[in-house]
Structures are given as structure tokens and as C-alpha cells.
């Protein structure tokens, strides 16, 4: 996933209405009308939200006879998860090094914590 696409994905998900739409699409595909039901906004506003999600690669629109369901592209979340996981692992590694350094600087803390257990 390119940095530009990743930026579009995170930007699209920054809006609570779009996050809610994505959450609802995890259970099943839905039409624009179905997605618009719980919101007090126009169909045009919902379509604009869907366009942002579509441009980010999070959803696609298909044709099923007269219906035009919106489909969630779950693979994008796999790519986002991999990106996030890389930085989570780096942060955990830094915290482990910090814990080790603090333990070296204050060995009494370890023994007093063991005695308290």
C-alpha cells in the first residue's frame, strides 16, 4: 500500500459517519438507501461519504440486477494492520529496552517488587 493510499484510508476513516458505514458493511453489502437509513442526511451526502471511501479503496460498488450494493474491501484492512503492526512491534521493542535499562539502573526495585508479591 502506498503512503498516499494509506493517507487516503486514514483520512476517510477520520469521519465518524464513514467509520460507522464501514462497520455496518462488515456484516453485509448494502445499497446507498440502506446505508442512509440511520442518518439524518440526504442521499447526496451519503453518496459523497461513499465516494471518499471508494477513492480510498475501502469500498466498491457493484451491480446486482437493479441493486447497486456497496461492498467493503477487507483486504485494505489487512494492509493497514500490517502497517500498524510494524510500528507497534518497534514501540514494544523500545519499551523492552527501556525496562531493561531501568532495571539495570535500579536493581533494588526488582527485588523489592519480588518481595511484595
User: How far apart (Å, rounded) are the C-alpha atoms in residues 115 and 117?
Assistant: 5
The H or E element containing residue 18 is helix 16-25
pLDDT of residue 66: 74
pLDDT of residue 87: 87
pLDDT of residue 31: 93
pLDDT tens-digit readout, 46-68: 999 999 999 999 999 988 777 78
pLDDT of residue 80: 84
pLDDT of residue 79: 82
Positions of the chain with pLDDT under 50: none
pLDDT of residue 24: 95
User: How far apart (Å, rounded) are the C-alpha atoms in residues 57 and 81?
Assistant: 15
Amino acid at each position: 500500500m502506498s503512503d498516499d493510499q494509506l493517507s487516503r484510508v486514514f483520512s476517510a476513516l477520520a469521519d465518524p459517519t464513514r467509520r460507522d458505514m464501514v462497520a455496518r458493511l462488515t456484516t453485509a453489502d448494502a445499497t446507498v438507501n440502506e446505508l442512509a437509513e440511520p442518518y439524518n442526511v440526504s442521499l447526496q451526502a451519503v453518496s459523497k461519504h461513499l465516494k471518499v471511501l471508494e477513492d480510498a479503496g475501502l469500498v466498491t460498488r457493484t451491480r446486482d440486477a437493479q441493486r447497486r450494493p456497496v461492498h467493503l474491501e477487507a483486504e485494505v484492512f489487512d494492509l493497514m494492520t500490517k502497517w500498524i503492526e510494524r510500528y507497534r512491534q518497534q514501540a514494544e521493542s523500545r519499551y523492552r529496552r527501556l525496562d531493561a535499562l531501568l532495571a539495570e539502573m535500579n536493581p533494588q526495585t526488582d527485588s523489592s517488587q519480588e518481595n511484595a508479591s
